[in-house]
Amino acid sequence: MKSGFAAAIIEWQAQHGRHDLPWQREPVDPYCVWLSEMMLQQTQVVIVIPYFERFIACFPTIQKLATAQPDQVMALWSGLGYYRRAQYLHAAAKLIIDDYGGTMPDHVDGLMRLPGIGRSTAGAIVSLAWNRPAPMLDSNAKRVLCRHQAVSEDSGKILWQTAQDHVPCHDARAYTQGLMDLGSMICGARAPLCPNCPVGATCKAWNSNSIGDYPKRKSLRARKLVEVFWGVAVNSAHSCIWLQKRPLHGIWAGLWSFPDFSNEKESKRWLYEIGSPHRPVVQSYPAKDHKLTHRHLRIYPAVAKVNSGTGVGAFADEGWIHVADLANLALPAPVRVLCDELLGSVNTGCCG
């Protein structure tokens, strides 16, 4: 259908929307659109751009990604969070090469069979990559549609139907991009700029002066405080630091971090072991608070400078890591920060 709503969004997007994002470069590459959608889940454009540029420079095609080492893929995701997304992306790339003849599915159902791609991401990819009609319902679209239709229910059924109903037959790319641009630039969560909105004339929330009621507030739950004790062994003479790979389930699955213990005594005991036969001086570092969506980590690093240990090139799942290799390792954000404080600049690298 061709509604006035869609037409207004499309026209507004052409005039005021974003046209210079890295994944919009012509000719539009479906793989780039897919990568961007994966990276953008639950985060923001300004955060993603440098990660996207590094990733696409290293893995410019699905083929390159499919044959990449998992550790290298994870390293390029290091700091971005929600690391399962990187594993899904990598697994999906392999599926496309091995089972799909190297061709990305170009329809919603096919895309949704790939790991990490849900209904919204599939719809975004179909419309943005191939300019074909498909509904998309990210948080921008949700907010715009909730307000425009004055929908207070949080159940997805109504909103998905609404999203489906508004998708235009033509210019699906501009429409989807326009919904996202509008949600981020005009119909924002905080202070919507309704007088500038291209669909304000038909917005039920705006016209009933009840913009603040939509979308419905999510009830937030208190973060649980979790105390973690890190054993941080540093060999300054060799510029290396001891890290181990985390378990494959739970927080920071498969990323490299410091050995963690449930109390300070255990972390210090471990430091004396790794430092033997010398007896390292263990100093307690200031606690670091790291807040996640539903946890509040209070990290107590115990730091010891030890003489044993040198950088090792071939490691299994733990060992001395040279400062130069940290750039190409998947480290959780607070781990990279602490490495940086102890050894100097440890930025995320590109390729090896």
Partner DNA sequence: AACTCGGGGAT
Partner DNA sequence: ATCCCAGAGTT
Cβ(104)–Cβ(96) below 8 Å:
yes
| Nearest alpha-carbon partner for 329 in 226, 268, 242 | 242
Q: Which is nearer to DNA, 15 or 293 (CB)?
A: 293
- Rounded-to-integer distance, Cα 13 and Cα 180, Å: 9
Q: How far is the CB of 97 from DNA (least distance, A)?
A: 18
With residue 290 as reference, give the H or E element that holds it: strand 288-291
Q: Which is nearer to DNA, 273 or 317 (CB)?
A: 317
Q: How far is the CB of 34 from DNA (least distance, A)?
A: 10
Report the b/e string of 292-318 with b at 16+ CB within 10 A.
eeeeebebbbbbbbbeebebeeebeee
Q: How far is the CB of 305 from DNA (least distance, A)?
A: 26
Q: Which residue has the tokens 């991009």?
A: 177
- Is 37 in the active site? yes
Q: How far is the CB of 309 from DNA (least distance, A)?
A: 25
Residue 26's contacts (CB-CB under 8 Å, 6 or more residues apart) are none
Q: Which is nearer to DNA, 33 or 241 (CB)?
A: 33
| Nearest alpha-carbon partner for 93 in 104, 108, 106 | 104
- Rounded-to-integer distance, Cα 26 and Cα 46, Å: 20
Q: For the chain, what is the radius of gyration of the CA atoms?
A: 24
Q: Which is nearer to DNA, 72 or 235 (CB)?
A: 72
Residue 141: phi, psi to the nearest 5?
Answer: -60, -40
- Residue in 37, 53, 153, 227 annotated catalytic: 37
Q: How far is the CB of 75 from DNA (least distance, A)?
A: 12
Q: Which is nearer to DNA, 293 or 345 (CB)?
A: 293
Q: How far is CA 8 from CA 134, 178, 191, 249, in A?
A: 18, 9, 21, 46
Q: How far is the CB of 279 from DNA (least distance, A)?
A: 33
Residues that bind DNA (CB under 7 A): 18, 21, 23, 36-37, 40-47, 79-84, 88, 112, 115-122, 124, 138-140, 143, 155, 177, 180, 183-184, 189-191, 217-218, 220-221, 249-253, 290-294, 332-334
Q: Which is nearer to DNA, 180 or 321 (CB)?
A: 180
What single string gives the DSSP state of each residue in 187-229? Answer: S-SSS--GGG-TTGGG-HHHHTT-GGG-SPPPPP-PPEEEEEE
- List residues with catalytic annotation: 37
